[in-house]
A and B are shown apart, each in its own frame.
Chain A
């Protein structure tokens, strides 16, 4: 497997072609936009969080590269049933995995998200992988827009 195939492995291609939890729900409690002005990627993320702080529904929509779309799709699958605080921890773990080669061991605990464990080798693409994650964190913080160029 060469570098391109390692990056664009089947799970990433699958989720970019057929994103899960895709679309705008009728109702939500939190939402935010994720924008990368350098490449034009633009997404919206929607969360429904109950009184206990548990995510009951999560979805996204928008346009961008395979990496950003697959990352959003795989993330959405993992958010359901998690507490806000667990999501913040997941953000930190994912962020560490995609930016720090020494954080590879943590990849095992991230399930399918481990597909992105090699992306630290592509510094210009880390922003794509993390874009919707920032949007979700901003939604939790009550901010409307996350940008990679802040």
Chain B
């Protein structure tokens, strides 16, 4: 039986940011891998919280606090549903992917990782999934191993397997490369890591806007993502962790909300998830994130992927048809992101000229300098696509690149 072909409706009217001109030109936003635009329903959810129920959570006896607490915990439930986590208390709100990874590096690191123990990452990680492990290495004398990628931008699976051994405590790996768009075979990588006795942290910051991540089906131990890349607010993100691990891990940050009782002699920590949520959290952000995930579920991943796959296919063909344009990385499976170079035009100059045409792309090393080093480059231009992009955006990008070539001819 063939599944009915999912079709994404035109969501552009739901994104007010698109309703403007930049330097007098139609805005073509191709930088969603840096941050996604926000739909009206998310903006409304955030402003509704501030307008109607602006109160602190988990501590007030008054109506507004109870309302805010309910909204905040509903957002947690929205995240649980989205990831198909077994329990809502396995969802920890953080300030973003970076904070989530640092939490694991500190807390899981303290619990499980000692001198000579190994952490395995890949060559295509974002700096936020490299530096926390280097810091942990400095703190505890652990060994940081890197699974290389090949020139197409895929993880070298043999080298990955070879790097796993009985000292590997944690594999921390991205589900989707922010620099190349590579989709990693995370289900298989997780199985291999578990066979070696290692836990796995998935960086889902780029993947979750474009593909479902079922933490129970994947059997991942930790999963980190940010709200702002999936149409939610900045400053809010999530760490999912298996209950057994989170229970065993010591707290990361100390403060209010994460305690049951405090005396100067002894403090009893609160239960999950509050043990890891010290201080007043980004309440409005969590509510906006919960709404953003509902928005994604309402559209449905099949429709989102059908739209994005078609768009990416057309964009790749359109870019390859331009003389002097070179794609960086040709991963076996790719989503949402294209890194490229234009002969004789530095990515920053290209970015400036495209900006003058109303086209927003990213130019630089994309916080993935090891990826740039692999290709012996200092920088690339990166176009990234989301649900609100369309054929007109691709045409606009192509015209913009031709314009830049004309200026630099």
A residues near B (Cβ < 8 Å) are 2-5, 7-8, 13, 17, 38-42, 63-67, 122, 124-125, 128
A2 with B356: CB separation less than 8 A: yes
Stretch in B26-34, B99-107, B156-164, B344-352 touching the partner: B344-352
| Most A CB within 10 A of own CB, among B23, B344, B379, B403 | B379
Rounded to whole angstroms, the CA-CA distance of A8 and B350 in the bound complex is: 11
| Most B CB within 10 A of own CB, among A4, A8, A39 | A4
B378 with A66: CB separation less than 8 A: no
Q: B328-365 toward A: CB 8 Å interface, digit per residue (1/0)?
A: 00000000000000001111110011001100000111
B378 with A7: CB separation less than 8 A: no
| In-complex Cβ contact of B403 among A4, A40, A63 (8 A) | A4
Q: Which residues of A contact B404 (CB under 8 A)?
A: 4
B residues near A (Cβ < 8 Å) are 23, 344-349, 352-353, 356-357, 363-365, 369, 372, 377-379, 403-404, 407-408
A41 with B378: CB separation less than 8 A: yes
Q: Which residues of A contact B349 (CB under 8 A)?
A: 8, 65-67
| In-complex Cβ contact of A3 among B23, B344, B365, B378 (8 A) | B23
B407 with A125: CB separation less than 8 A: no
Q: Which residues of A contact B347 (CB under 8 A)?
A: 39, 65
State the Cβ distance, A133 to closest chain B Cβ, in Å.
17
B348 with A39: CB separation less than 8 A: yes
CB contact under 8 A between A39 and B403, given known A4-B352, A66-B346: no
B346 with A4: CB separation less than 8 A: no
CB closest chain-B residue, reference A66: B349
Q: Which residues of A contact B352 (CB under 8 A)?
A: 4, 7, 122, 124-125
Q: Which residues of B contact A8 (CB under 8 A)?
A: 349, 353, 407-408
| In-complex Cβ contact of B346 among A3, A64, A122 (8 A) | A64
B348 with A65: CB separation less than 8 A: yes
Q: Which residues of A contact B379 (CB under 8 A)?
A: 39-40
Q: Which residues of B contact A64 (CB under 8 A)?
A: 346, 378
A128 with B348: CB separation less than 8 A: yes
Rounded to whole angstroms, the CA-CA distance of A63 and B357 in the bound complex is: 26
State the Cβ distance, A58 to closest chain B Cβ, in Å.
23
New contact pairs (13) apart from A4-B353, A39-B363, A39-B364, CB-CB < 8 Å: A2-B356, A4-B356, A4-B357, A7-B352, A8-B349, A13-B407, A13-B408, A39-B365, A40-B379, A41-B378, A64-B378, A66-B349, A125-B352
A125 with B348: CB separation less than 8 A: yes
CB closest chain-B residue, reference A6: B356
Rounded to whole angstroms, the CA-CA distance of A38 and B346 in the bound complex is: 14
State the Cβ distance, B370 to closest chain A Cβ, in Å.
13
Q: Which residues of B contact A125 (CB under 8 A)?
A: 348, 352
Rounded to whole angstroms, the CA-CA distance of A125 and B356 in the bound complex is: 13
A3 with B356: CB separation less than 8 A: yes
Rounded to whole angstroms, the CA-CA distance of A137 and B73 in the bound complex is: 56
| In-complex Cβ contact of A40 among B23, B353, B357, B364 (8 A) | B364
A40 with B363: CB separation less than 8 A: no
B356 with A65: CB separation less than 8 A: no
Rounded to whole angstroms, the CA-CA distance of A41 and B378 in the bound complex is: 7
CB contact under 8 A between A38 and B364, given known A4-B403, A13-B408, A66-B349: yes
A63 with B378: CB separation less than 8 A: yes
State the Cβ distance, B403 to closest chain A Cβ, in Å.
7
State the Cβ distance, B316 to closest chain A Cβ, in Å.
25
